[in-house]
Amino acid sequence: MGRKVVCAGTFDHFHPGHIDFLRQAKTLGEVLTVIVARDETVKRIKGFLPTHNEQVRKRNVEESGIPELVILGNLDTDLFQIIQELKPDIIALGYDQRVSEEEIVKRFPSCTIVRLISFEPDQFKSSFYRQKNNC
């Protein structure tokens, strides 16, 4: 088994920016696991529920055919627990993910952290799609 890459996100309103994010993450290793945030976790962190439920969001990521494995995140308040279980070599972060790289390095010193670049962020962000649907 080759290098294991893990990335995570909400993946609401699955769009070309998400596809690009997954493709970039996939190039970093041989096995890509994607963690899809639970509805409850999104509500706790972002303050609102995603438009699409966790099962729909998970299925959309699976249907992209890019990752080898797609899982739902833990319901535990320790968001890093699942990383400990997966034991990745590389953790890929989105350009706009508000997570402390320093905290990840402190907890997982053997992991390489890669911050991925944006893909047309003025056009493809879930918040844009959410706003369009609320009008």
Per-residue pLDDT tens over the stretch 25-56:
999 999 999 999 999 999 998 899 999 999 99
Residues 4-18, mean pLDDT to the nearest whole number: 96
Amino acid at 95: Y
Checking phi first, is residue 105 left (phi over 0); if not, alpha (psi -120 to 50) or beta? alpha
* Three-point CA angle 103, 99, 41, nearest 5°: 115
Rounded to the nearest integer, the mean pLDDT of the chain is: 90
Q: How far is CA 83 from CA 5, 15, 63, 86, 91, in A?
A: 10, 25, 23, 5, 9
Question: Sorting pLDDT into bands at 50, 70 and 90, what band is 79?
Answer: confident
Task: Give pLDDT, residue 47.
Answer: 93
Share above pLDDT 90 across residues of the chain, in percent, rounded to a whole number? 74
Sorted by sequence, the CB contacts under 8 Å of residue 21 that are 6+ apart come out as 7, 9, 92, 94, 116, 119
60-71 tens-digit pLDDT? 999 999 999 999
CATH class name, domain 9-134: alpha beta
